[in-house]
């Protein structure tokens, strides 16, 4: 058997497999391939590129060289075009990836919300009975005098300015990342962050209602608060994902569990960043504005409906059902 015949015979199966994979990609995208098929595509592409170099150096058959050259060009175009579609991938993340990740991990977000709510109720009831209880929720005693003086301190934080709005967005993103990062402490750090923030907000609301202007604070918070607090709960869920991977990896090794759940956690955090930007804009320009409170409540309700309709409905379809199988 001639060397060229042996060369073709030994490698022909791999070339045909590459043709088959490229044929599937002609009618779909790289994401529709299974993970092992994507790895196989890259492996066969590199091998075929090497075969092309050998054929150019040793073969006298131009048809073989042209065939391999065409195959390598097609594979290169499909692989690297997929990598270059940053804008499209970003769009797919927000239309499919982020809401799907929320639906797959909603129990962790629900747990973060439950801890926040329980300690919020405790902080409110405890402070309502005894204002000094607010100190257990991290409220400075001096702040109680500010509230008793009926000072609308939140208005000075905003002043309807771009600077105030920017500060609020940065602070909200910091709180979100803190709740996420504390998940590395076996999830206990995230639970503490949820409990502390819930108790603090509950205590502040109780103090303002005792002072007689609690509704003013609620009408300020409601416009941006639904989106803002939802992002905090999502960040808490992301932190608990990290903690659960360390404590309860299941059938996976801890390393594999961290990779899997860590990726889901990062998706949740990445999806929350633009939402917090929206919340910061509302908080900086609309929430402190002297407008009818009904408008602010309407904004809060509308943004809440839009957010959860997006999280629960966006990205549903055949490919999501296939991903669950």
pLDDT score at 82: 53
Query: What is the per-residue pLDDT across 113-135, written as a single tens digit (0 to 9) for each?
Result: 999 999 999 999 999 999 999 88
Mean pLDDT of 264-283: 89
Is pLDDT at 107 greater than 90 in this prediction? yes
Domain edges within the chain = 3-84, 91-314
Is pLDDT at 6 greater than 50 in this prediction? yes
Q: Which residue has the higher pLDDT, 243 or 174?
A: 243
pLDDT tier at 275 (50, 70, 90 boundaries)? very high
- Residue 94 makes CB contacts below 8 A (sequence gap 6+) with 271, 274
Alpha-carbon distance values, 97 to 59, 257, 319 (Å): 47, 19, 11
pLDDT score at 65: 82
Query: What is the per-residue pLDDT across 155-172, written as a single tens digit (0 to 9) for each?
Result: 665 554 444 455 555 666
pTM above 0.75, yes or no: no
Query: What is the per-residue pLDDT across 173-203, written as a single tens digit (0 to 9) for each?
Result: 777 888 888 887 888 999 999 999 999 999 9
pLDDT score at 2: 66
Distance CA(295)–CA(83), nearest Å, equals 45
Is pLDDT at 204 greater than 70 in this prediction? yes
């Amino acid at each position: 058997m001639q060397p060229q015949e042996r060369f073709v015979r030994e490698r022909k199966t791999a070339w045909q497999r590459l043709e088959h994979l490229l044929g599937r990609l002609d009618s779909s995208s790289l994401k529709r391939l299974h993970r092992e098929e994507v790895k196989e595509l890259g492996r066969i592409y590199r091998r075929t590129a090497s075969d092309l170099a050998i054929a150019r150096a040793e073969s006298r058959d131009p048809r073989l060289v042209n065939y391999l050259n065409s195959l390598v060009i097609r594979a290169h175009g499909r692989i690297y075009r997929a990598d270059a579609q940053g804008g499209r991938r970003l769009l797919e993340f927000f239309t499919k990836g982020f809401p799907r990740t929320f639906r797959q991990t909603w129990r962790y977000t629900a747990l973060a919300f439950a801890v926040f709510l329980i300690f919020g109720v405790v902080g409110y009831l405890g402070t309502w009975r005894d204002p000094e209880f607010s100190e257990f929720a991290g409220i400075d005693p001096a702040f109680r005098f500010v509230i008793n003086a009926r000072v609308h301190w939140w208005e000075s934080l905003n002043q309807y300015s771009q600077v105030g709005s920017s500060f609020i967005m940065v602070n909200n993103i910091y709180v979100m990342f803190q709740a996420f990062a504390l998940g590395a402490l076996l999830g206990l750090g995230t639970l503490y962050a949820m409990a502390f923030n819930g108790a603090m907000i509950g205590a502040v609301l109780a103090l303002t209602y005792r002072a007689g202007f609690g509704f003013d604070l609620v009408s300020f918070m409601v416009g941006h608060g639904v989106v803002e607090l939802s992002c905090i709960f999502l960040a808490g869920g992301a932190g608990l994902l990290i903690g659960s991977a360390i404590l309860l990896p299941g059938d996976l090794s801890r390393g594999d569990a961290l990779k899997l759940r860590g990726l889901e956690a990062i998706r949740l955090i990445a999806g929350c960043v633009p939402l917090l930007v929206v919340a910061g804009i509302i908080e900086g320009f609309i929430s402190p504005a002297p407008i009818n409170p009904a408008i602010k409540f309407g904004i809060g309700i509308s943004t809440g409906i839009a957010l959860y309709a997006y999280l629960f409905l966006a990205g549903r379809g055949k490919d999501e059902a296939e991903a669950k199988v």
